[in-house]
Amino acid sequence: MEISRSNYPAFAQTLASGMEAQTEIPSNTTAGSTVQEEELKRILSERRQECMERLKSNATAPPEPYCPGVFDGWSCWPNTPAGTIAFQPCPDFVTGFDAGRFAHKDCEANGTWFKHPESQQIWSNYTTCVNMEDLSWQQRLNTIYETGYTISLVALLLSLAILTYFRSLRCARITLHMNLFASFAVNNALWLIWYGTVAANTPTLFENGIGCRLLHMILHYFLLTNYAWMLCEGFYLHTLLVSAFTSEHKLVKWLMGLGWPLPAIIVITYAILRGTSNDLADSSQCWINEGNYANVLIYPVCVSTLLNLLFLCNIVRVLLTKLRAGPAIGTRPSRSMLQAFRATLLLVPLLGLHYLVIPFRPPKGHPWEQAYEIISAITASFQGLCVAILFCFCNGEVITQFKRKWEGTAFVRKRANSCTATTVSVRWRERRRCDYQSAAGVDPQESAGSSTAAARRGSSNHLQVLIKRNDSANDFNQYQSQC
């Protein structure tokens, strides 16, 4: 099982595009080699010495004219008759070169080696060492990874924003979800950074600086935290079902110690083993190759996936037992527990699917190879999107909070419109009443009093009514306060 194979989709083939341009330059440069400088010098020295010995041992020269044997810096070219083409296997120490393919060198009709038209220097054609069809396929595959990681990152950030906004959702289970979202979001962002700054940058890989190796460590740390938090989700649900009286607060504290620190210990161990290794497969090219210690990362992922599957099997057993127990109090699982179970049941196999199918990777050139790589790219890059959909966007509690928020906003808007209409209606009725009572010669303030008091005031009351009716500002303020 190879933890980095799905996330490193044949970077060597991607780097070959840069080597194609370099090999067209008539130079003996060794840039682009997969080995370090000291090892590269040793390899080239041995190849040069072998070439010289081979040319000396072949004392029989072809008929004149012919092109004399030469070592071009990478390969040894024998004496070649004029007007023919010499072929040599592609170097196996150059990134992106297929050792099963052949480079060629043209011998002109006048007995001289072909010269590059731009530099006018003797040139060997190594462009045929690059499988351009496979290179184009790998670049399209990289596009799937980048697209998936980008979409997943957006979905995860939106999910974190939703769960942070609705504080009423805060509970132990939502806390675990938020940690899982954060782990996936950082991991997806780091993969996008890796693709943009390291994988597509050939000089960075050849420099093999501490920065790109540190990025490799951080990236794999958050990759492990993804599966650590998935294990926490499965363990949490299993514990709630099996031990009903467990304190959720204490359980979350224990799971926080599992989700973040444990992957750090594993990655530090992996980094120490790989950093102290003398094998070039472990120390070259920003650790882009799997190396000899990939199992240090693979085994914890396998254990996490298998434990989650065991938890699910036991959860199914417990749920079936409670459902068969009948409607007795305390025997049937709650609705929220069933929802959490459904989400975890769907999510855990989905997350484990990618690593469960890796041992059955088709060999190179198999008809199912491309289908396998597409499935691996989709399952690896869209994991974050699946997490966000199952645990946030399709979460019944989140949907309920959105409905309450919308209904509350609509109710306030409706209430405000109703109050405004009522106020206008009251003002209109009060003004009509004042006008009517004014015409009838009755004081509005004394309309509820006795008729004897009204008759006793006589005509002087008519003037007071007119004055009060004209005092519109006081009336409106009074009516408004009453409303």
Under DSSP, the state recorded for 359 is G
Dump pLDDT digits (tens) for 338-349: 666 666 666 665
445-476: pLDDT as tens digits? 444 444 444 444 444 444 344 434 444 444 43
**438 pLDDT band (50/70/90 cuts)?**
low
CB 105 within 8 A of CB 113: yes
| pLDDT above 70: percentage of residues in the chain | 68
Q: How far apart (Å, rounded) are the C-alpha atoms in residues 117 and 315?
A: 72
Structure tokens of 29? 């440069």
What is the structure's pLDDT at 36?
A: 58
pTM above 0.85, yes or no: no
Query: Over the stretch 238-263, which tens digit does the pLDDT of each residue have?
Result: 888 787 677 888 888 899 989 999 99
Q: What mean pLDDT value characterizes the chain?
A: 75
Domain coordinates of the chain in residue numbers? Answer: 25-124, 134-394, 427-482
Structural tokens at position 230: 């998935």
Residues 6+ apart with CB under 8 A from 263: 221, 222, 224, 225, 228, 300
Domain 25-124 matching CATH 3.30.420.40: the answer reads no
Q: Using pLDDT thresholds of 50, 70 and 90, give the confidence band for residue 444.
A: very low
Q: What is the pLDDT of residue 268?
A: 95
Q: Cis (ω within 30 of 0) for the bond into 65?
A: yes
Note whether 148 and 378 are within 8 A (CB): yes
H or E stretch at 221: helix 210-242
Give residue-wise pLDDT tens across range 102-120: 999 999 988 899 988 888 8
Spatial CA neighbour of 384 closest among 195, 41, 145: 145
Cα angle value 60/63/65 (rounded, 5°):
125
| 34 within 8 A of 286, measured Cβ to Cβ | no
Q: ∠15-20-22 over CA atoms, to 5°?
A: 100
Provide CB contacts within 8 A for 29, sequence distance 6+.
Answer: 22, 73
Phi, then psi, of 125 in degrees rounded to 5: -90, 105
Q: Indicate the helix (H) or strand (E) that contains 66.
A: strand 66-67
Structure tokens that stand for 53 in this block: 């010995």
**C-alpha separations of 214 from 205, 272, 274, 395, 418 in Å:** 13, 12, 12, 37, 63
Q: Which residues pair with 103 in a beta bridge?
A: 88
Please tell me which residue, 481 or 42, carries the higher pLDDT value. Answer: 42
Q: Residue 219 in contact with residue 191, Cβ under 8 Å?
A: yes
Rounded distance, CA 293 to CA 273, Å? 7
Query: ∠ CA(57), CA(58), CA(60), 5° rounding?
Result: 135
Q: Report pLDDT for 241.
A: 79
The larger pLDDT score, comparing residue 336 to residue 53, is at: 53
pLDDT at 213 exceeding the cut of 70: yes
236 burial (CB, 10 Å; 0-12 / 13-18 / 19+) is buried
CA 427/CA 443 separation, integer angstroms: 18
Asked whether this chain's domains 25-124 and 134-394 adopt the same fold, the reply is no
Structure tokens at 171: 């509970």
User: Which run of H or of E encompasses 102?
Assistant: strand 102-106
Cα–Cα distance measured from residue 464 to residue 7, given in angstroms and rounded to the nearest whole number: 91
pLDDT of residue 130: 83
Q: How far apart are CA 354 and CA 388, in angstroms?
A: 18
Per-residue model confidence as pLDDT tens digits over 304-333: 888 888 888 888 788 777 767 655 555 556
pLDDT tens track for 372-415: 889 888 888 998 998 898 888 988 888 988 888 888 876 666 65
Q: Supply 257's token pair.
A: 């110690």
| pLDDT of amino acid 147 | 95
One-letter identity of residue 359: P
Count Cα neighbours of 207 within 13 Å in the Cβ-side half-sphere.
Answer: 10
Structural contact between residues 26 and 123, judged by C-beta atoms closer than 8 angstroms: yes
Q: Is 354 within 8 Å of 301 (Cβ atoms)?
A: no
Provide the pLDDT confidence category of residue 163 given band limits of 50, 70 and 90.
very high
Task: Give me the mean pLDDT over the 352-381 stretch.
Answer: 77
Greater pLDDT, 36 or 208: 208
- Do 34 and 94 meet the contact criterion of CB atoms below 8 Å apart? yes
Q: Please say whether the structural domain 134-394 has been given the CATH code 1.20.1070.10.
A: yes
Asked if 77 contacts 86 with a C-beta cutoff of 8 angstroms, the reply is yes
In the chain, what are the helix, strand and coil shares in percent, each to the nearest 5? 70, 5, 25
- 73 to 91, 123, 362: CA distances (angstroms): 11, 11, 36
Token representation of residue 248:
């959720």
